[in-house]
Amino acid sequence: MYAVGVDIGGMSIKVGIVSDKGKIIAENRVKTAKTAEQCIKNMVEQINSLFKENNLTINEISGIGIGCPGAVTSQTGVVDFLPNLGWENVPLADELRKSFNTTIKISNDANVAALGEAIYGAAKNYNTSIMFTLGTGVGGGMIIDKKLFEGGFSRGAELGHITLFLDGEPCTCGRRGCIECYTSATALIKQTKNAMLKNKASTMWEFVDGDIDKVDGRTAFECSKTGDKTAIEVVDTYVYYLSESVLNMLNIFRPDAFILGGGISAQGNYLTDKIKAYCEKFDYGYKRAPRTEIICATLGNAAGIIGAAALVNN
C-alpha cells in the first residue's frame, strides 16, 4: 500500500506519496502559510491533487503521517507548539480527518526522521537505533525494537538538551551548556567563524571568498581535508564534542546503531571514522559488549516525507 507523508517546515510544507518500500512516487510542496488554518487548507489541497494526479483514492492508502517541527501530543494528534510557525494547540489530526477518512498520525520531525532511517534508511538492518539530527539545533529520535519511542506524553527524545558543559553556553531551552550549543550546525559555524577571526591566514578565508557570512557547516570540514591547520583544529574540537555526546547515548541505550543526520552527516565516513576512533578509546562497554555501529543517515532531504509516511506505513 501507499502512504501519505507530510513534512511541515518553516519555509515549506512538503507532501509525498510513499510506497511501502519507502520510495517517494510523487511529491509536491507549498510555501508555509502564515496561519495554521491556511496551512491545513493547503495541505488538504496538495494531498487531493497528488491523489488525482496519481489516480489514487483514499482507500488505497494506509494513512497520512505528519512530521512537525516542535512539540506535539501524538496520542491525540494535537500540535501543542511550533515556535517557528506560531502554531499553538492546533488539533491537526482532527482537522485533516474532516477531509480524509483514514488513519492520521503526527509526531515531532526528529522522531519521524529516526523512524524513516530505521524502517527504510541507514538503520533498516538494526532493531534499536538512536539518532541525532545536526541542524539549526540538535534533534533526537529513539527507535527501540523497531518502534518509535517518543518518551512519556510524547515529550521525550530531546536528545540535544543534555548537558555537555554545566553552566556553559546559554541554550534556547533555558538551560546552559546543552549538547545542542556545541554540536549543531549553528554551533559549528560559530566555532568556524571564531577560529577564522583568530587566524587570518587560514585557507578557510579563500574558501568563502573572504566573506565570513558565507561560512557554513562544510567550511571547516572541506578545508581540513586540504590540510588547513586551523580548520583541522575546528573539526577536531567539533568531533570531540560530538563524540562525547554520542558516548552519552551509548551508555544509556547501547543501541545496535547510532545514526547521524542533518546537513553535517553529508561528511559521511570522514566524520564517522573520527567518532568511531574516539568512542573505541573511551566507550565504557566496548571492551566487553558488542559494538554500536556509528553511521550517517541515508535518506537525506527525503527523510521528512518518508519518515512521516512510516508513521502509518508499517
- Region at 54 (left for phi over 0; alpha for psi -120 to 50; beta for the rest): alpha
d(CA 209, CA 215): 10
* Residue 143 Cβ vs its own copies, minimum distance, rounded to whole Å: 11
d(CA 137, CA 139): 6
Q: Does 255 engage in binding with its own copies (CB under 8 A)?
A: yes
Stretch that binds its own copies, among 9-17, 46-54, 162-170, 198-206 (CB under 8 A): 162-170
d(CA 154, CA 74): 6
AA identity, residue 128: T
Q: Which of 166, 200, 210, 211 binds its own copies (CB under 8 A)?
A: 166
d(CA 271, CA 267): 6
Q: If we measure between CA atoms, which residue out of 107, 27, 103 comes closest to residue 75?
A: 107
* Residue 160 Cβ vs its own copies, minimum distance, rounded to whole Å: 8
H or E segment and range at residue 140: strand 138-144
d(CA 164, CA 124): 30
Q: Which of 24, 162, 189, 212 binds its own copies (CB under 8 A)?
A: 162
Q: Does 292 engage in binding with its own copies (CB under 8 A)?
A: yes
Q: Which of 15, 242, 247, 303 binds its own copies (CB under 8 A)?
A: 247
Q: Does 158 engage in binding with its own copies (CB under 8 A)?
A: yes
Task: Show contacts with its own copies in window 35-94 (CB under 8 A).
Answer: 71, 80-81
Stretch that binds its own copies, among 6-14, 53-61, 150-158, 260-268 (CB under 8 A): 150-158
Residues at the interface with its own copies (CB under 8 A):
71, 80-81, 127-128, 140, 142, 144, 149, 151-153, 155-159, 161-166, 173-175, 241, 244-245, 247-248, 250-256, 282, 284-285, 288-290, 292
